[in-house]
Amino acid sequence: MISLEKVTRPIKGDIFVPGDKSISHRSIMFGALSKGTTEVTGFLESADCMATIECFKKLGVLIEHSLRPTNGVPTITVHGNGLHGLTAPDSTLYTGNSGTTTRLMSGILAAQPFDSNITGDRSIEQRPMERIIKPLSQMGADISSVMGNGCAPLHIGGGKQLHGINYRSPVASAQVKSCIILAGLYAEGDTVVYEPALSRNHTETMLSSFGADIHNQVARDGSAVAILHPGMPLHGHRVNVPGDISSAAYFIAAALVVPGSELLIRNVGINPTRAGILTVLKQMGADIELVNVNNSQEPSADILVKYSELHGNENHQFIIGGKDIPTMIDELPVVAILAATMDCDTIIKDAAELKIKESNRIDTVVSGLGKMGCSIEATDDGMLIHGGKPLKGADIDSHSDHRLAMSFAIAALTAEGTTRIIDDECVGISYPTFFRDLFSVINR
């Protein structure tokens, strides 16, 4: 348990946040499936990403870890085995709390010549896997839920020849899309995945840089399609991982709610499929500026944030929904914290995916903010937040959900009294040094 108090002086200075989790996962996966060596700088050394490394080591891939002598930046070297060079694991692959590892690895394993089993912690064993079992089965894979409940553990039979499919995903999910695409690397014929909105596109962008023939198309109505033409070998190369915008979001929020604050968050990834929070916060009146923009394949920038009085529209209302949701799904808990400080009603809708994250983030956010004195209601696909009432300190159960723990740490900065967060260690899933970094900027 960790205790936090209201901050009484402005947050000033600058900070680096750890590397992007999505890019870190994929750099290991794609490097392992490539010919040659992939060097990854700025890799996120969190529990989730280390689980991906351990899985590939079990599959026979040599992966080395070092620190750059000049600045101590984590560097991972992956000696790729090529698409057909993985070897049978001697035990069940364990993914910890990582849904990305579980779902994307399943797509790769479905095409291997050997049998495998994959599972994770208690949270992973409650998250829905039918959304990947169905399309992989349509591709010819032998994949099943061991317990018969549509969840992990999963058994994947080897030696199946996969074929490409045209799949219409009912949800905009990067994990589902990426799982199908990775299986499609081994399939006969093209693999096409349709989504109701474009989910984060790191898989498409990064696979292209490794040599795959893949691209996206986005229609006028916002729906999207990813198209993979298999047959191209992957080649290892250098990957520079920018800071994770999901991690930066907590510091953006902190600067926005503490009067007089001005904070520069350096080298953050601003991929448009991930950066919806910046657009939405600017619509709320946030003073946010991008500086030193680098428009590489995975664009990045320094984010300058100044304290702002956030507000709704002329009807004292703000609505978050539709195509914005996939671009900021992981940031919605901390956005709800910000909404609680606004003197208006905020409606978050079209976000039923929040129910199947590490916790049911609709119920857990509503419960936590309710304890802190906010008037808030759960809905079927989001929440209604009646903002403007002063928050008060409370005991908050993180439910072992890293994003919940970090979000309520930000709420604590503006709440009267003491806020205690139960199971604060769960931040190690994505941001092991979060509380150290938070205290470094609020105690300057």
Q: Is the pLDDT of residue 413 over 80?
A: yes
- Determine the pLDDT at residue 68: 63
Topology of the domain covering 21-154+164-228? UDP-n-acetylglucosamine1-carboxyvinyl-transferase; Chain (3.65.10)
CA 264 to chain CA mean position, Å: 22
- The answer for residues whose C-beta is within 8 angstroms of residue 335's C-beta and 6 or more apart is 253, 277, 280, 281, 320, 328, 348
**Residue 401 is a catalytic residue:** no
* DSSP string covering 398-441: -TT-HHHHHHHHHHHTTSBSEEEEETGGGGGGT-TTHHHHHHHH
Under the banding of pLDDT at 50, 70 and 90, the label for residue 116 is: very high
- Determine the pLDDT at residue 71: 57
* Portions of the chain given CATH number 3.65.10.10: 2-18+245-442, 21-154+164-228
* CA distance linking residue 235 with residue 30, whole number of Å: 9
* CA distance linking residue 246 with residue 315, whole number of Å: 30
Q: Is the pLDDT of residue 69 over 60?
A: no
pTM, full prediction: 0.94
Give the homologous superfamily in CATH for domain 2-18+245-442.
Answer: Enolpyruvate transferase domain (3.65.10.10)
Of 290, 251, 250, 286, nearest to 267 by C-alpha is 290
* CA distance linking residue 243 with residue 240, whole number of Å: 10
Residue-wise pLDDT for 262-313, tens only, equals 999 999 999 999 999 999 999 999 999 999 999 988 999 999 999 999 999 9
Contact 371, 394 (CB under 8 A): yes
- Determine the pLDDT at residue 296: 81
Under the banding of pLDDT at 50, 70 and 90, the label for residue 314 is: confident
Q: Which one is catalytic: 330, 345, 350, 424?
A: 330
Pairing of strands 74-81, 287-294: unpaired
- Determine the pLDDT at residue 419: 98
- What average pLDDT does the structure give for the chain? 96
Residue-wise pLDDT for 243-266, tens only, equals 999 999 999 999 999 999 999 999
Contact 255, 340 (CB under 8 A): no
Under the banding of pLDDT at 50, 70 and 90, the label for residue 73 is: confident
Percent of the chain with pLDDT over 70: 99
- Section 13-23 average pLDDT: 96
